[in-house]
C-alpha cells in the first residue's frame, strides 16, 4: 500500500466535493461575500483551545426566571454577581461569585414542547423524525476530535434506568456505534462499577495472552477459508478493548475511589455531584464529551410547586456542583481546555399554574456555558419583562453547537451525508439555517 496514493485519493475527493459545493451555490445564485468569508473563516477557526466538553444535563427543564434570568414574576429576588451589571436568581449564591467564568444566554428559542421532543432537539439540534437517527452533539465532537489516551471519547453518566428512549437521543445515530456514548451506572451508588472495564479476578494479563494464543489456533482454519469485512471491523475493536483492559490508567479514570474523600464531599455525594466529578476525572484522562446527567431522579420538571422545587431540591445541588466544577477545573489548569455547558431541554412558563407549578416553555429560556476559550462574565440576548418571549438575539440550538464547535476548532458548517446521501447539518439552526458561533463568546 502506498500512502501517497491514499492521500491523493482523499485530496481528489475533497476537491471534488468543494467544487460541487461552490458550483451548486453558484447555480442557486445564493452565494454572497459574507458567506464566502464565513466559509473561509470556518476552514481554520482561530484560537481553538477546547479539548473536551462537560454537559451538565438539567433534565426536565429549569425555570429561566428562577435561575439565570431573574424577573419580577419569579418568587425569588435577583442578586448581584462578581461581574458588575449581571444579576442572577438568589437561588444561585455560589455561582454568583463565579459569574466571570460563565456566560449566560437568555434568548434560547427552540422546538419541542414535551420532554422527548425537547430533549431530542436540544441534544441533536433537529426535531425528531421517525425515519432518521440524528447524531448527538457528543457523538459529533467525538467523531471530529477522535479519542485520546485510550479513553472512550463519548461518555454518558449515569444512564437512564427506565426511560431508555432518552438515551437513544444521546447516541450517534447514523454515524454508527463508534461514536455512541459509553453509558455508565450511577456513580453515587456504593457498588458503583463500570461494566466490562475490569477483567474478572480469574483473568490475569497472562490469561488474556494465552486466550489470544488459543483464539489464533481456533480461528486459523476459518480465516484461511473465508474472507469478510466483519473480521476486520471486530479485530480493530478487540485490539482497542484489550489495550483498555490492560492499561491501569484507563481503569483508574473510571474509578471514583481514587478521588480523595474531601473532593467527593465537595462535589456532593448525590448523583449530581458524583456524576460531575466522574465527568471531570474522565475529561482529565482524555474523554472528549461527557454528559453528566445526574438529575434523572430529581427532575427540573416542576409542574407543581415550582418555587419549592427550585429552592429546596434543584438549585442547591446545581449551585454547589457547578461551582465546585469550575473551581476544580481552574485549579487543575483544565478550564481553558474544557467547555462546560449547563442546560435542560427547555424553560418554563412565565405564568404559574393552579398547582403552583410552571409548565414547559421552549419559546424563551436560558442556559450557561464557559471554559474551553469561551469568555464568561457576559449575557447574550434578553427576554421580555416576564421572561416569556425573546426580545433580543433569538438563539437556536445550532448557534450554541456552532459556538462549541468553534471552540474545539471544528468547522461548524460541515454536513454529514446519511447512508442514502441525505445531507445533515452538524449545527442545525431554525428554518434549516446553519448555526453561527456567538462572536462575543470566543
Partner 1 sequence: MGDTGFEYVLFDHPLDQPMGNGDVNGSLQMLHPRTKVPLKPTLLDGTVVESSGRENPRKALAEWMVKNPYFAEAAVNRLWSYFFGRGIVDPVDDFRSTNPPTHTELLARLAEEFRSHNHDLRHIIRTIVTSRTYQLSGRPNATNRGDHTNYSHAQPRALDAEVLLDAICDVTGVPEVFTTGVSDASKMNAQAPPGTRAIQLRQPDLFFSRFLELYGRPNRLTLPERNGKANLGQALHMLAGSAYQEKVSAPQGHLMQLLRSSKSNGEIIRDIYVTAFARVPEPSELEDLNRAVGVAENREQALGDLMWAILSSREFAENH
For partner 1, the binding residue among 28, 30, 162, 331 (CB under 8 A) is 162
Least separation in angstroms between CB 210 and partner 1: 6
φ, ψ for residue 133 (rounded to 5)? -115, 100
Angle 417-423-428 from CA coordinates, rounded to 5°: 120
One symbol per residue from 212 to 251: x for binding partner 1 (CB under 8 A), - otherwise; what is it?
Answer: -xxx-xxxxxxx-xxxx-xx-xx--xx-xxx-xx------
Which segments within 267-346 are labelled E, that is strand? Answer: 289-292, 338-343
Q: Does residue number 202 form part of the binding site for partner 1 (CB under 8 A)?
A: yes
One symbol per residue from 245 to 284: x for binding partner 1 (CB under 8 A), - otherwise; what is it?
Answer: x---------------------------------------
Q: Which of residues 136-155 bind partner 1 (CB under 8 A)?
A: 152
Could you tell me how far CA 413 lies from the centroid of its own chain?
18
> In the numeric block, which cell numbers belong to residue 377?
462574565
Q: Does residue number 6 form part of the binding site for partner 1 (CB under 8 A)?
A: no
Q: Does residue number 133 form part of the binding site for partner 1 (CB under 8 A)?
A: yes
For partner 1, the binding residue among 161, 205, 385, 417 (CB under 8 A) is 161
Cβ proximity to partner 1, 180 vs 399, nearer residue: 180
CA distance 122 to 183: 19
Q: Does residue number 40 form part of the binding site for partner 1 (CB under 8 A)?
A: no
Cβ proximity to partner 1, 218 vs 249, nearer residue: 218
Least separation in angstroms between CB 185 and partner 1: 11
Q: What residues are paired with 104 via a beta bridge?
A: 368, 379
Cβ proximity to partner 1, 64 vs 188, nearer residue: 188
Q: Would the CA dihedral through 95, 98, 102, 105 be positive or negative?
A: positive
Q: Does residue number 353 form part of the binding site for partner 1 (CB under 8 A)?
A: no
Asked if 183 and 152 touch (Cβ cutoff 8 Å), the reply is no
CA distance 168 to 105: 27
Q: Which of residues 104-123 bind partner 1 (CB under 8 A)?
A: 114-117, 120
Asked if 256 and 274 touch (Cβ cutoff 8 Å), the reply is yes
Q: Does residue number 340 form part of the binding site for partner 1 (CB under 8 A)?
A: no
Judged by CB under 8 A, the stretch of 21-29, 201-209, 270-278, 319-327 that binds partner 1 is 201-209
Cβ proximity to partner 1, 140 vs 322, nearer residue: 140
Judged by CB under 8 A, the stretch of 5-13, 30-38, 202-210, 380-388 that binds partner 1 is 202-210
φ, ψ for residue 396 (rounded to 5)? -100, 170
CA distance 95 to 234: 46
Q: Does residue number 177 form part of the binding site for partner 1 (CB under 8 A)?
A: yes
Cβ proximity to partner 1, 171 vs 406, nearer residue: 171
CA distance 134 to 138: 12
Size of the residue set binding partner 1 (CB under 8 A) = 61
> In the numeric block, which cell numbers belong to residue 102?
460563565
Least separation in angstroms between CB 174 and partner 1: 9
Q: Does residue number 316 form part of the binding site for partner 1 (CB under 8 A)?
A: no
- Cell match 431573574: residue? 70
For partner 1, the binding residue among 198, 249, 258, 417 (CB under 8 A) is 198
Least separation in angstroms between CB 217 and partner 1: 5
Asked if 184 and 319 touch (Cβ cutoff 8 Å), the reply is no
Judged by CB under 8 A, the stretch of 25-33, 90-98, 210-218, 338-346 that binds partner 1 is 210-218
Could you tell me how far CA 53 lies from the centroid of its own chain?
6
Asked if 343 and 370 touch (Cβ cutoff 8 Å), the reply is no
DSSP string, 145-211: H--BTTB-SEEEESPPSS-HHHHHHTS-GGG-GGGSPEE---TTSTT---TTSS--TT--HHHHHHH
Q: Does residue number 417 form part of the binding site for partner 1 (CB under 8 A)?
A: no
**Closest Cα to residue 392, out of 404, 402, 383?**
383
User: Strands 360-361 and 347-348: what pairing?
Assistant: antiparallel
Applying CB under 8 A, which residues contact partner 1? 114-117, 120, 128, 130-133, 152, 161-165, 168, 176-178, 180, 182, 195-200, 202-203, 207-208, 210-211, 213-215, 217-223, 225-228, 230-231, 233-234, 237-238, 240-242, 244-245, 419-420
Amino acid at each position: 500500500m502506498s500512502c501517497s496514493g491514499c492521500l491523493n485519493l482523499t485530496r481528489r475527493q475533497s476537491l471534488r466535493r468543494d467544487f460541487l459545493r461552490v458550483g451548486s451555490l453558484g447555480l442557486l445564485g445564493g452565494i454572497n461575500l459574507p458567506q464566502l468569508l464565513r466559509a473561509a473563516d470556518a476552514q481554520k477557526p482561530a484560537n481553538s483551545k477546547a479539548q473536551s466538553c462537560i454537559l451538565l444535563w438539567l433534565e426536565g427543564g429549569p425555570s429561566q426566571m428562577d435561575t439565570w434570568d431573574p424577573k419580577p414574576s419569579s418568587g425569588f429576588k435577583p442578586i448581584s454577581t462578581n461581574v458588575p451589571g449581571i444579576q442572577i436568581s438568589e437561588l444561585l449564591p455560589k455561582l454568583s461569585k463565579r459569574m466571570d467564568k460563565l456566560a449566560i444566554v437568555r434568548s434560547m428559542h427552540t422546538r419541542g414542547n414535551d420532554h422527548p421532543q425537547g430533549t431530542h432537539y436540544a441534544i441533536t439540534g433537529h426535531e425528531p423524525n421517525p425515519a432518521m437517527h440524528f447524531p448527538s452533539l457528543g457523538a459529533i465532537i467525538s467523531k471530529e476530535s477522535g479519542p485520546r489516551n485510550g479513553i472512550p471519547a463519548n461518555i454518558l453518566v449515569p444512564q437512564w434506568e427506565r426511560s431508555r428512549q432518552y438515551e437513544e437521543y444521546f447516541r450517534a445515530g447514523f454515524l454508527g456505534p463508534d461514536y455512541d456514548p459509553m453509558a455508565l451506572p450511577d456513580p453515587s451508588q456504593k457498588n458503583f462499577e463500570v461494566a466490562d472495564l475490569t477483567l474478572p479476578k480469574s483473568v490475569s494479563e497472562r490469561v488474556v495472552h494465552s486466550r489470544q494464543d488459543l483464539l489464533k489456533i481456533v480461528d486459523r482454519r476459518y480465516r484461511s477459508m473465508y474472507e469478510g469485512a466483519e473480521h476486520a471491523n471486530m479485530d480493530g475493536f478487540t485490539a482497542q478493548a484489550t489495550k483498555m483492559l490492560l492499561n491501569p490508567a484507563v481503569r483508574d479514570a473510571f474509578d471514583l475511589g481514587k478521588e480523595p474523600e474531601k473532593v467527593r464531599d465537595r462535589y456532593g455525594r448525590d448523583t449530581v455531584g458524583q456524576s460531575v466529578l466522574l465527568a471531570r476525572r474522565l475529561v482529565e484522562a482524555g474523554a472528549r464529551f461527557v454528559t453528566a446527567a445526574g438529575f434523572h431522579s430529581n427532575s427540573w420538571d416542576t409542574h407543581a410547586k415550582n418555587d419549592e422545587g427550585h429552592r429546596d431540591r434543584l438549585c442547591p445541588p446545581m449551585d454547589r456542583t457547578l461551582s465546585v466544577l469550575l473551581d476544580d477545573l481552574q485549579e487543575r489548569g483544565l478550564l481553558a481546555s474544557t467547555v462546560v455547558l449547563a442546560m435542560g431541554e427547555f424553560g418554563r412558563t412565565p405564568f404559574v399554574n393552579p398547582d403552583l407549578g410552571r409548565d414547559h416553555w421552549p419559546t424563551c429560556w436560558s442556559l450557561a456555558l464557559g471554559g474551553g476559550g469561551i469568555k464568561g462574565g457576559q449575557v447574550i440576548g434578553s427576554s421580555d419583562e416576564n421572561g416569556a418571549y425573546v426580545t433580543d438575539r433569538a438563539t437556536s440550538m445550532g448557534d450554541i453547537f456552532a459556538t462549541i464547535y468553534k471552540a474545539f476548532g471544528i468547522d461548524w458548517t460541515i454536513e454529514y451525508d446519511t447512508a442514502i446521501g441525505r445531507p445533515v447539518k452538524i449545527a442545525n439552526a431554525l428554518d434549516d439555517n446553519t448555526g453561527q458561533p456567538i462572536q462575543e463568546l470566543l
